[in-house]
Amino acid sequence: MRMIGRLFVFLLALISSVLFVVLTVSAVLFPSIIQEDEIYDEHCINMPPHHYIHPVFLASGPPIQSEPRPVYEAHRVSSSAKLNCNLQNKTLIIINSHLNHTAFRDMQREVFRSEWLNENNAVMYFVVASNDTIDIENEKNRYGDIIQVDITEDYHNITYKSIFWIKEIAKCEHGPKLFIKLDDDVHIDIVGFQLLIKRYRTMDDFIACRVISSGPVVRNDTSKWYLSKEEYKFSTLGTYCQGMVYFVSGNLMPILNKNIDKNQYLWMDDWYVTRSLVGDYKISYYSLDQHSISPNTINELSQSLIMIQRRKWRTIFAHFRPPQK
């Protein structure tokens, strides 16, 4: 009996020692895994679980035409940053910015700090246009993250910025694993944003965004979004993404570039990139509407705040737009 007792004590001590060693080594070798599970438990922070699939839309609407064509090609201003083609397996974030939106760019730099970009294998650039009366040379030299193109800063010229960055990415031997486009005035919850990157960076053939399933065509010539029949002849825009933010799988970037020379140009950059340049290629549109708010008025903002309290999933993107006709 004494021998059995001693053997039992010896085995208990041995097992305890092994467990101690295993746990100690795991903590040393895999600290990021332990920390990530603790910090980024989706259930604790109102994020969908791993098996959840965001609502899926397929492309629908009128056939993509070949006319009209772009009338100008933007070029990089030599004093501005140049896209670093070291993009393999990286997340590339392009932020469309108005030339005089210095405060918005500073806001985004506070969100996407260099430490965060390094930790998440991501790179970020602002793309701005030009204006003879606005000088941002000091800002360009200080941060090195502004790509400037030689077109006039105007709402109807944003598509030319998009064509520029698509072509710049195409020049690289290896494109990004994941591409994200943002507007500079979008407010971002960085924890939720990081989890969306984690979810989507391993997927192909998709765009994730606030999906517009059957976009109306505005024929009121006093509206900001007026489209003449010469610009777009159909009565619906079909399926496309609202432009404030969209995630694009890296494998789609060559397809978007190829279709620049084939598919219809439109000054509405969100429709142009996420619908016209996609063309006939079969993709899935994943809806991020449940993670977004985009109110136009104070009343809509109040309704959005109530909706945030009631919605199931975490709000990640907020875009406050002035009212438009």
pLDDT in tens, 160-206: 999 999 999 999 999 999 999 999 999 999 999 999 999 999 999 99
pLDDT value of position 305: 75
pLDDT value of position 11: 45
| Contact between residue 248 and residue 180 where contact means Cβ atoms under 8 Å apart | yes
- Report pLDDT digits (tens) over 103-128: 999 999 999 999 999 999 999 999 99
Identify the band that residue 321 occupies on the pLDDT scale cut at 50, 70 and 90.
Answer: confident
Calculate the CA 131 to chain-centre distance. 27
Residue entry with tokens 């799988």: 249
Polymer length in residues for the chain: 325
For 68, the token pair is 């009209």
CA distances from 166 to 28, 79, 248 (A): 42, 20, 12
What are the domain boundaries of the chain? 56-188+205-291
pLDDT value of position 23: 33
- What is the C-alpha R_g of the chain? 24
User: Is 316's pLDDT higher than 60?
Assistant: yes
Distance, in Å, from the CA atom of 112 to the CA atom of 130, rounded to the nearest integer, reads 24
What's the predicted TM-score (pTM) here?
0.85
Residues of the chain with pLDDT > 90, as a percent, come to 73
Taking residues 74-100, what's their average pLDDT?
Answer: 97
Taking residues 292-318, what's their average pLDDT?
Answer: 81
User: Is 40's pLDDT higher than 60?
Assistant: no
Mean model confidence pLDDT for the chain: 86
Cα torsion angle, 253, 158, 117, 201, sign: negative
Name the residue among 47, 88, 46, 55 with its Cα closest to residue 208. Answer: 55
User: Is 24's pLDDT higher than 70?
Assistant: no
Q: Phi-psi bin for 61: left (phi > 0), alpha (psi -120 to 50), beta? A: left
Task: Give the up-direction half-sphere exposure of residue 203: CA atoms within 13 A in the CB hemisphere.
Answer: 16
Distance, in Å, from the CA atom of 92 to the CA atom of 103, rounded to the nearest integer, reads 22
Class of domain 56-188+205-291: alpha beta
pLDDT value of position 6: 55
